[in-house]
Amino acid sequence: MPNLEHPAYPAATLLHLESLVPCRESQVSMLLSIFGERQQFTFPSIFIYGHTSSGKTYVMQTLLNTLELPHVFVNCVEYFTSRLLLEEILIQLQSCCSETEQTSHVPCDTFNDFVRLFKQAVLSRELQDQTLYIVLDRAEQLREMEANILPAFLRLQELTDRNVTVVLLSEIVWELFRPNIGCFEPFTLYFPDYSIGHLQKILSQNHPPEYSADFYAAYINILLGVFYMVCRDLKELQHLAALNFSKYCEPVVRGEANERDTRKLWKNIEPHLKKAMQTVYLREISSSQWERLQCDNGEPGQLKGLSAHTHVELPYYSKFLLIAAYLASYNPVRTDKRFFLKHHGKIRKTNFMKKHEKTSNHLLGPKPFPLDRLLAILYSIVDNRVAPTANIFSQITSLVTLQLLSMVGHNDQLDGPRYKCTVSLDFIRAIARTVNFDIIKYLYDFL
Amino acid sequence: MSKRKSKESSGANGECISQVQKILRERFCHRCATGKLFGIEHQYRHLLELLKRTIVHGESNSALIIGPRGSGKTALLNHVLKELTEMKQVRENLLEVHLNGLLQTNDKVALKEITRQLHLENVVGDKVFGSFAENLAFLLEALRKGDRTSSCPVLFILDEFDLFVHHKNQTLLYNLFDISQSAQTPVTVIGLTCRQDILELLEKRVKSRFSHRQIYLTNSFDFKQYIRIFKEQLSLPAGFPDESFAQKWNKNVQHLSEDKTVQDMLQNLFRHTKDLRSLHSLLMLAVSNVTVHHPLITASDLHEASKQSRMDSKANIVHGLSVLEICLIIAMKHLNDVYEGEPFNFQMVYNEFQKFIQRKAHCMYNFEKPVVMKAFEHLLQLELVRPIERPSVRAQREYLLMKLLLDNNQIMDALQAYPNCPTDVKQWAASSLSWL
C-alpha cells in the first residue's frame, strides 16, 4: 500500500488523509502528484469518471478539505441551469476567498459576465496565486445546458488567465461528452470499481460495537454471496447490510445459537435475504415496512409491494374486454378467422408466415387495433349475447384511464379510435383464470 | 562530512525539483507565450507583416487563421503580438480587442464587451443607438477624440470565429468587415478557427467584405522534427539556477530521445495525433512523477503516462459491472449477431438471457424479471445502451427499442479482463451460435 508522500504538505496531514480514504490510496497519490505544490500550475481541466459510489465525490472532498486547498464544490443536478450554476460558483468563491461571513448575491447571466466577475473575485490576496479548484459533480448535466458552457469550463484557465483548474466528476465516459467541433481535451482519470475484497473491507468497517469484527465479517460474506452477482454498488450494499443485520443476530439474541454457529445463522438469514432481493432491493416496499416485517416475524404472504397495487378488481365485462384487447394486440389479423369463427376451414401457411415465425409478437410488443376488431373478438369470446350499449364503451374508456389499454393516434381520427393493450402476460393469465377462460389456447404464439 | 554534503545536496535538490516542476508545468499547462514555435516561420512572417502594415502605415486588413485544434493558432498570434509590442510606436498606439465565441454568445454581449475593452463605457453612457452599425461607428469616432487627426489602429481578435458565424444575421462580422474595408479607421480583424470550411458558413455579403486572406497551420512536421520538439520541450532553459542539475537533466532527456522504446511510444502517439497539445499532456503526466527521490524522468515514467492516456474508457466501465449486467450485455451481443445490428428491446434481451439460464448456466441463479429490469436500467443510466426514440408514457418500458453502444471486440476484451468471470458466462460469450 503506497504511503502518501509529498514535499508540500506535512506528513501528519497526509497520514490522516490516508486513514480517511481506504482502498483509494493510489488514486489519491496520483491526484496529489498531479496537483503538485500549491502555487504550481496543473492541467487546466481534469475529468474523473467511474461507477456510482466508487468514491469520486468523497475522495475529492476529503482531499480538498484535509489539505485545505482553496476550492469550490458544486453539484450540477442541484444547480441545473447555467445561471444557477455560475451564480453558485461566484457565491462560494466569495466565502472561500475572504474571511467575511456575508456573501452578497451577484447576478450572473452569461459566461462572459462570469469570467469578468471571476477575475475580480480571484484578485483578493487570500489566494496568493494558489491553484483554485472548481469541482463540478454529476457533470453529465452540463451537456443539457447551453452549448458553450462545457467547452468554456474546460478552457477556464485560458479564458480568465488565472491559476484555476476545473475538475469534472461523472459516471459517463468522456467520449459521450465531446462536442462535435472539438474542445480542449481534459486529462481523464479513471476511478476503478471496488473489487470484492475491497467491498468486504469497507463494509466490515461499519460493524456495531456490540459484536465482534469476525462475526460481522462473516455476515458481510453471506450478504455479498447473495447480492454480489446482481449489484456491486457500495451504497446499496451498505443499506442492505444495515437493514438486515438485526435479523441475522436474532438467533444469537434469542440464545438459539452462538456467534460461531455459521450453519444455523446461514439457514436463518438466507431466505430472508432472497426475499429482500425481491422487495427492498427493488424498492417495492420501503425500508421502514421491511423493518416492521422483521419485528413482527411476519407472514411473508402479507407483504403488499408497490406492484401489488396494480392488481385491480375489474367488473365482469371489463375483464373480457381486457382479454379481447390482449388477443387483438398479440394475434395477427389474419389468424382471427381461425380462432374466433366456428367453421374456419384450414389455414394455409403462406410464405409470409414462414419467414416471420421466429420473432414472436410477445417479443415485439403489442400492436394497435381498431375498435371494431375489439368488439368482434369480444362478441365471440363471451358466451351470452352482449349488446353494444354505452355501458360497454364507457368500460373501454375506464380501462384506458387505468392505463391497462392505451390509445394510439390522435383523438379525432377519421377511421375511429385505435387502442393497444399494455398489460403483461402474467397479469392477463391471472385475470383469465378468474373467469375460467383459457387464454393460451387463443394466442397465436403458443400454437 | 559526507552526511553534511548529502544533506546539502538533498536540500538543494528539493528546491531544485520544485523549480523544475514550476518551469515545466508552466510550459505544459499554462499557455506561455515564451514557448518556441515549430515549423511555422512562414506564417509567422506573414502575420507580422500584416499587422505591421496596419499599425505603422494605417492600412485596414482582415485575415483568418485556420488550423485544427492544438496546432498553435493562439500561440502564433501571441508571439506576433509580443514581438510587436516591443516596438515603442506600437506600444503607445495599438488598441486590442479580444473577443471569444464561447463567451460572447450574441451580438449585444459582443458590443458591450467591445465598449468595455476600449474603455469607452463612460463615453457611451446611457445612449441608445438605432443599430449595431451606428454603435460601432460611434465607438470608433470616440477613439479619434483628443487632438488626433487620425484614430489609433484597432486590432480585433476573434477567437472561435466559427461560433460568431451562428449569430443572428452575422451582424457583428458584417460590421467589422465593413469598417475594415471603408478605411476610415485603421482596423484589422483577425479570426481564429478550427473549421476548414469556414468560408462556406459566411453569408454572401459578409464574405464579399472579407479579404479572403487565410493563414493555414497544418502541423506539417515529420517524425524526426517531432522527436526534436519532444527533446526541446522537456529540456530545462539556459538560465536555470542550478547549473549542474540542469546539465544532468538535459543529458537525461537527450538519452531518452534516443531510447528505442521511447521512440516507439512517440511514434504511436505521432500516428494517432500530431498536435502538440497531446504531447504536452503526456509530458506533464510524466513530469508530475518527479520528486526528490526520483529526480530524473525515466522511460518507464513515459510508458506509464502513455498507457494512462490510451486506456479504453468503455472497457473500464464494463470492468465494474455486476455479473448479471455482463450477461445482459452478452445477450445483446448475440442479438446483434443474429439480427445484424437491428434494434432490440428489453423483452428480447430477457428472452435470450432465459435461454442461457435454462440451457447452460450452473452458476447463475434464475433471477426474477424485475431484478433483471433493474440491472438493465443501470446499463441505460451508464449510457452503454441507448434508446432509439424518446421514451414516452404511452409505450411500455420493456418494449422500447434500443441499441448497444459497444462493439464485439470491446466486449470480448473487457470479458478477458473481468475479474472472477464464471466460465459458463465466458463460454456463452464466445459461442457464435446462440441456439446451441
Asked if the Cβ–Cβ distance from B347 to A363 is below 8 Å, we say yes
Nearest CB to B288; choose among A36, A171, A364: A36
Task: Extract the C-alpha cell encoding B361.
Answer: 448456466
List every span in chain B annotated with CATH 1.10.10.
315-430
CATH architecture, range B40-216: 3-Layer(aba) Sandwich (3.40)
pLDDT reported for residue B434: 47
If one compares B29 and B66, the residue with the highest pLDDT of the two is: B66
Task: Give the dihedral sign, CA A81/A83/A86/A89.
Answer: negative
Interface test with A, best of B20, B73, B96, B102 (most A CBs within 10 A): B102
Closest CA to A366 of A402, A319, A412, A331: A331
**Low-confidence stretches of chain A (pLDDT beneath 70):** 1-3, 97-102, 125, 297-311, 343-359, 411
pLDDT band of residue B404 (cuts 50, 70, 90) is very high
- pLDDT of A102 reads 65
Written as one letter, the residue type at A95 is S
Together in a domain, A146 and A249: no
- The amino acid that residue B326 corresponds to is I
Percent of chain B's residues with pLDDT above 70: 92
Beta bridge partners, B191, equal B64, B158
pLDDT digits (tens, 9 = 90+) for B15-60: 888 888 888 888 888 866 455 677 788 889 999 999 988 888 888 8
Domain boundary among A131, A158, A190: A190
The chain-wide mean pLDDT, for chain B, equals 85
Nearest to B323 by CA among B205, B429, B176, B421: B421
Within a domain: A213: yes
pLDDT tens, residue by residue, B141-183: 777 665 455 667 889 999 999 999 999 889 999 999 988 888 6
Burial class from Cβ neighbours inside 10 Å (0-12, 13-18, 19+) for residue B321 reads buried
Residues of B in contact with A277 (CB under 8 A): 371
The predicted complex's ipTM stands at 0.91
Q: Which cell goes with A330?
A: 398479440
Residue with C-alpha cell 491526484? A31
A4 falls within a domain: no
CB contact under 8 A, A281 and B277: no
Q: Which fold has domain B315-430?
A: Arc Repressor Mutant, subunit A (1.10.10)
Angle at A94 between CA A89 and CA A100, to 5 degrees: 155
> Is residue A106 in some structural domain?
yes
Q: Is residue A353 part of a domain?
A: no
pLDDT at B238: 83
A190, A207, A232 — which closes off a domain?
A: A190
**Cβ separation B103–A152 shorter than 8 A:** yes
pLDDT score at B183:
65
On whether both A301 and A320 belong to a single domain, the answer is no
State CA A443 to chain mean position distance: 35
- Give the domain extent around A329: 316-341+361-442
Given a cut of 60, whether residue B78 has pLDDT beyond it is yes
Domain with CATH 3.40.50.300 in chain B: 40-216
* Residue B389 pLDDT > 50: yes
B202, B64 contact by CB (below 8 A): no
What per-residue confidence (pLDDT) applies to A353? Answer: 56
Q: At what angle do helices B2-28 and B243-258 cross, to 10 degrees?
A: 60
**For B374, which residue in chain A has the nearest alpha carbon?**
A282
Decide if A54 touches B, using CB distance below 8 A: yes
Could you give the number of structural domains in chain A? Answer: 3
User: How many other CB atoms are found less than 10 A from the CB of residue B186?
Assistant: 24
Residue B62 pLDDT class (50, 70, 90 cuts): very high
Give me the pLDDT at residue A299, please. Answer: 55
Whichever domain contains A139, its CATH number is: 3.40.50.300
B332 versus A411: the higher-pLDDT residue is B332
Closest-CA residue to A381 (of A315, A330, A432): A432
Cβ within 8 Å of residue A337, ≥6 positions away: A344, A347
Out of B194, B320, B348, the one facing A232 most closely (by C-beta) is B320
* Contact predicate A416/A408, CB 8 Å: no
Same domain membership, residue A249 and residue A218 = yes
How crowded is residue A285: how many other Cβ atoms within 10 Å of its Cβ? 19
For residue A92, is it within any domain? yes
pLDDT given for residue A411 in this prediction: 67
Separation in Å, CA B167 to CA A149, B46, B62, B105, B199: 17, 30, 19, 8, 15
Whether A159 and B278 lie within 8 Å, measured CB to CB: no
> A370: part of which helix (H) or strand (E)?
strand A369-370
The answer to whether residue A445 neighbours chain B at the CB level (below 8 Å) is no
Cβ of residue A50 closer than 8 Å to a chain B Cβ: yes
Contact B383 A176 (CB under 8 A): yes
The answer to whether residue A350 is domain-embedded is no
Task: Report pLDDT digits (tens) over B212-251.
Answer: 999 999 888 889 989 998 998 888 888 888 888 889 889 9
CA distances from A270 to A222, A259, A263, A267, A273 (A): 8, 16, 10, 6, 5
Short-list B259, B247, B243, B335, CA closest to B299: B259
Taking the C-alpha atoms of residue A218 and residue A117, their distance in angstroms, rounded to an integer, is 56
What is the dihedral angle through the alpha carbons of B158, B164, B165, B171, rounded to the nearest 10 degrees? -100
User: So what's the pLDDT on residue A113?
Assistant: 92
Rg (CA), chain A: 31
Q: In the prediction, which pLDDT does B1 show?
A: 46
CATH of the domain at A384: 1.10.10
Residue A447 lies in a domain: no
A176 inside 8 A of chain B by CB = yes
Residues in chain B closer than 8 A to A186 (CB atoms): none
Q: Residue A346: inside a domain, yes or no?
A: no
Are A213 and A161 members of one domain?
Answer: no
The whole-number pLDDT of residue A298 equals 55
Give strand ranges (E) for B315-430: 385-387, 402-404
- Say whether pLDDT at B90 is over 80: no
A51 touches chain B (CB under 8 A): yes
Q: Kindly report each contact of residues A340-347 with a partner whose C-beta sits within 8 Å and lies 24 or more positions away, as own/partner.
A: A340/A376, A340/A377, A340/A380, A340/A381, A341/A380
The domain boundary, picked from A190, A223, A256, lies at A190
The three-point CA angle B108-A144-A151 to 5° equals 60
